[in-house]
Amino acid sequence: MVDFGKGPALKDACPWIRDEDERHRRILDVTERDSVIEGLPPFNEETRRRFAEQLKAMDQISRSPALPG
C-alpha cells in the first residue's frame, strides 16, 4: 500500500463527499461532461435516473458488512 501522507481523510477534507445526494450529483455531472467531450450526447433523464440508481446500489454494496470467509 502507498502512504500518501498524514493529512485528513478525503471524506473529512471534503464535506460534500459525506452527502450521498450531492456526491452522486457531482459524479453524474463530471461523467456527463467527460462523455460529451468524448463525442457522446448529453444524458437524457432516463440515463441520468439509471446511473443514479446504479450509484445508490454501489453505495449499498460498499456499506454492507464483509462476508465471512
Terminal alpha carbon distance of the chain: 22
What are the φ and ψ backbone dihedral angles of 38, each rounded to 5 degrees?
A: -80, 0
Q: Which pLDDT tens digit goes with each residue over 31-41?
A: 999 999 999 99
Residue 42 lies in a domain: yes
**How many folded domains does the chain comprise?**
1
Can you tell me the distance from the alpha carbon of 16 to that of 60, in angstroms, rounded to the nearest whole number? Answer: 18
State residue 65's pLDDT score: 65
Q: In terms of C-beta distances under 8 Å and separation of at least 24 residues, what long-range contacts does 45-52 make, across chains too?
A: 52/24, 52/28
Residue 32 lies in a domain: yes
Q: How confident is the model at residue 8 (pLDDT cuts 50, 70, 90)?
A: confident
Structural domain boundaries enclosing 18: 11-61
| Residues 42/36, Cβ–Cβ less than 8 Å | yes
Residue 56 lies in a domain: yes
pLDDT at 44 over 80: yes
Residue 5 lies in a domain: no
Cell output for 63: 456499506
pTM: predicted TM-score of the whole model, two decimal places: 0.67
